[in-house]
Amino acid sequence: MGVGGYARISPDMTRISFHVRAGNPDGIQPGIWTMRDDGTDRKRLCDGTRARWMPDSKSLFFVSPSGDAFEIINADGTNQRLLLRRTEYQGVAGAAISPDGKHICCIAYPQSAYDGVLYRVPIDDPAAEPKILHRGRLGWDPAWSPDGKQILFWVIDEAENRHLVAADAEGKEPLKKLANQESTRLSTDPEWSPDSRRIIFVSDRPPAGN
């Protein structure tokens, strides 16, 4: 289907978004692209990375080329505009939209990579005081559960292991480490199944039965 990364299927299952980086082997113009699920009807939308679909499949939000803000653009490539920028953070590492489309949770780095904060703010008032859900050494791309209750992301422990944890989306419960990660050094990039009962993620764990 061609070069690209960070593929995401739209909620209505009609298109796939992805980004292409500069210097790719096919010489494709870098930026955010979409296509049909068979690889046809490719369309470049704009500069940026790590695009995710809004719940209505009509627009996408993404990390701006500057790396310090999130922007939003219509799925047809029109009406690109700023979604969220907070001056207290030097860089952003990923975000997720709540299933009802009313809040955005972000991982941002105040000073240096991996020394960050997970927070949430209402989309209609992004300048509001953020609700801090976690501070510490953490990675990128939080994943909000379809039932709206939890947010998955990965953290780095004292031994430099990367493990998955779940935060209560309301910030009322303590952080919870997912089970069965003691024998792994790397578990990252989780995504939820539509029923919020399973996740898929990258890991160095051995295959089941081995």
- Cα dihedral 125, 130, 131, 134 sign: positive
Both structure tokens of 2: 């061609």
List, as own/partner pairs, every contact residues 170-173 make where C-beta atoms lie below 8 angstroms and the sequence separation is at least 24, other chains included: 171/120, 171/131, 171/132, 171/133
CB 140 within 8 A of CB 69: no
Q: Is the pLDDT of residue 4 over 70?
A: yes
- Mean pLDDT value across the chain: 91
Distance between CA 165 and CA 55 in Å, rounded?
24
Both structure tokens of 200: 């898929």
pLDDT at 205: 79
Average pLDDT over residues 11-39: 94
Q: Is the pLDDT of residue 181 over 90?
A: no
Q: Is the pLDDT of residue 209 over 60?
A: no
pLDDT at 78: 97
Residue with tokens 């939080």: 142
Average pLDDT over residues 192-202: 92
pLDDT at 127: 83
Both structure tokens of 76: 């047809």
The DSSP symbol for 186 reads B
pLDDT at 17: 97
3-state helix, strand, coil in the chain (%, to 5): 0, 50, 50
CB 164 within 8 A of CB 156: no
Categorize the per-residue pLDDT at 198 as very low, low, confident or very high, splitting at 50, 70 and 90: very high
Query: pLDDT of 61-96, one tens digit each?
Result: 999 998 888 999 999 999 999 998 888 888 888 899
Distance between CA 93 and CA 179 in Å, rounded?
25
Q: Is the pLDDT of residue 25 over 60?
A: yes
